[in-house]
Amino acid sequence: MRKIMMGKVYLIGAGPGDPELLTLKAYRLLKQADVVLYDRLVGQEIIELIPESAEKMYVGKAKSLHSLPQEDINSLLAEKAKQGHQVVRLKGGDPFIFGRGGEELEELIEEGVPFEVVPGVTAAAGCAAYAGIPLTHRDYAQSVRFLTGHLKDGTTDLPWEELVHPAQTLVIYMGLTGLKDISQSLLKFGMSPTMPVAVVEKGTSKAQRVFTSTIIDVFDVATQNEVKSPALLIIGEVVTLQDKLAWYGKY
């Protein structure tokens, strides 16, 4: 009986939406894949790059709706590689920034499955760039902090006191559901009501929308404009540059 050669898993960041933000390595490996497991946040134009010969498996998650539990995804990656396949695990943004990439690799290590990690453009960098908002600027912010608005237990219990700090930009992933709580908590811990905020919906895609507001009004602005996920929050004085530096869709 012929022994099946072990395959390999490639954990690939697909970036925030624009297919041209894929790295050359990500594109090459995607075109060589036998099996591709992809998430909800992977753009449709990127999904269309998957070879017709590859087995495509949607394993995305939306709030409270999981097509496949995380543990099952982990096991499936190992199983497909052990069958001798070149497996691509395609994630929106970067797999190591709020992408659960580390959890999936831990299972592969336990199963003795070889893997590679291909970083992608994370939503903070991609969406901010396409919105015309520099995350750092010598006159406004010398540090930037990435946070998730959706913790493992479903809360938005963040270290609020640390977040109210001058010359700092906050970027909150998955913050739309908890937006009211986030804005009220930051105000409670001393953030100025006039602190500029941007909400970037479907950033880097053709459907991108950007709304700027203040921390006290951002929930109402997002509600009135019916902002939908995926959306990124950028909080900080750098947001004031958006009017001047916005370029996407203008030229």
SS3 assignment, position 183: helix
**Residues 181, 150 contacting (CB under 8 angstroms):** no
**Residues 232, 188 contacting (CB under 8 angstroms):** no
Task: State how far the Cα of 201 lies from the Cα of 207, in Å rounded to an integer.
Answer: 8
Q: What is the DSSP string of 48-80?
A: TTS-TTSEEEE--EETTEESS-HHHHHHHHHHH
Pairing of strands 231-235, 168-173: antiparallel
Instruction: Retrieve residue 3's tokens.
Output: 């022994």
Instruction: Retrieve residue 209's tokens.
Output: 């929308």
* Residues annotated as part of the active site: 39, 61
Task: State how far the Cα of 33 lies from the Cα of 193, in Å rounded to an integer.
Answer: 50
Q: What is the DSSP string of 120-174?
A: ---HHHHHHHHHT--S-BTTTBSEEEEEESS-TTS-----HHHH--TTEEEEEET
